[in-house]
Structure formats: structure tokens, C-alpha cells
A and B are shown apart, each in its own frame.
Chain A
């Protein structure tokens, strides 16, 4: 019940395309859903986060869509760029505790 599932494991997108990464959870106590971007040799960096009282949040080229009834949320990267090539992690937590991370998606954006 503490697990967060993430797909796909890897993703290849052409420059200018849309990258979509999906996550699903079981624990209905989760109330905070952040996405992190990680480059090799670096720590994860927070991209965007959403709480379950909204269905969508957009920041620049990054959008989170949240479906509370399906217990799913997804990250959309519009106009994907080679500089977006990284590993992306979704996560979930309950009241600031029990942070659970998905296994990650390795994104490659081809020039």
C-alpha cells in the first residue's frame, strides 16, 4: 500500500514532442505529490508538486494532471528539449511523512 508505481521505465522523445510519465498509488492518505528531476551525479531537484484538491497544475512547460478517483497522476513535459534528458521520479507523502518515491523514468530527448 505504500508503493508508488511509475511508468514507463524509459522514454525516448523527439525534440519538440510531449513527454508523458504516469504514476499510480494505493494509499489514500497520501496528500502531497511532487515530481523530481535528477541528472547523473546530482541530487533530485523538485520540479513541480500538486495536492489532491486540484486536478491540474502547470508551471512553464511542466504540467501535473491528477486523478483522485483513479489514484493516478502524471507529468507532461511540453516541447521537450535535449536538456530535459534526465531521470524523473514521482513521489507521494502523507502529512510530510512517509515519503515514497517511484522507481524512476529515464527520459532521452533526441535532438
Chain B
């Protein structure tokens, strides 16, 4: 399967804990995008990364959220001190280059905060 892989598919955390969401892009893709989707809503852009660089983080909340895409390994979206409002589906997409190339999405991580 050469698609975008996200794990875990489901993640349950208690308020105040940390959540780490992982995304492995398609082979040959060096651009990664993270989105958040609330129930019955569209996707909201969070952050756009290239290997070892954050290109655009204009959609990221200023506090508690961070993202990285290291030279080796998957991209990580990290949410510290989670709150109930962080419950959502988080999707990762990848593309081969950043210039209006089709984005290929993973099946998301469903984050539930107790």
C-alpha cells in the first residue's frame, strides 16, 4: 500500500494529556499538510510542512499545537494538554511538490478527549 498512512486511527486521551499523531506520506512525496475536521464540517487547514521545514502554520492554534516533519521518519502533529474541544478527526495529506499538485489524503486519526 503506497498511500498516505496515518496512525493511530483512533486515539483516546484524558484532558491534560498529550496526543501524538503520525503521518507517513506517499513514497516520493516531500510535502505534508495537516487538517482538522469537526463532525459535519469541512476540513480546516492547520499546517504545511516540507522536510525539516514549516512552510505555513497560519492555521495552527498558537498554543499547545506543534508539528514537525523530520528528515527521517513520519510527520508528527503534537497536541499538548488536550482539552475537550480538541476532539476531531485529523487528516494528513501529501503531495510530491508544493505547487498545486494533487494532495493525497490518509484516512485520518479520530481523537477523542474524555
Q: Which of B58, B91, B100 contacts A43 (CB 8 A)?
A: B91
Q: How many residue pairs between the two chains, A and B, have CB atoms under 8 Å in the bound complex? A: 61
Chain A residue nearest to B97 in the complex (CB)? A96
Residues of B within 8 A of A6 (CB): 42
Q: Which of B6, B41, B100 contacts A96 (CB 8 A)?
A: B100
The SS class assigned to the A binding surface is strand
Residues of B within 8 A of A97 (CB): 48, 55-56, 98
Residues of B within 8 A of A101 (CB): 35, 42-45
B41 lies within 8 A of A104 (CB): yes
Q: Give the interface residue-count category, chain B.
A: 20 to 34
How many A residues, CB 8 Å from partner? 25
B99 lies within 8 A of A49 (CB): no
- Does A73 reach chain B (CB closer than 8 Å)? no
Q: How near does chain A come to B105, taking the closest CB pair, in angstroms?
A: 4
Residues of A within 8 A of B40 (CB): 104
Binding site for B on A (CB under 8 A): 6, 31-32, 34, 36, 41-46, 49, 51, 89, 93, 95-104
**Given A42-B108, A97-B56, 8 additional A-B pairs, CB 8 A:** A34-B102, A43-B93, A43-B106, A95-B100, A96-B31, A96-B95, A97-B48, A97-B98
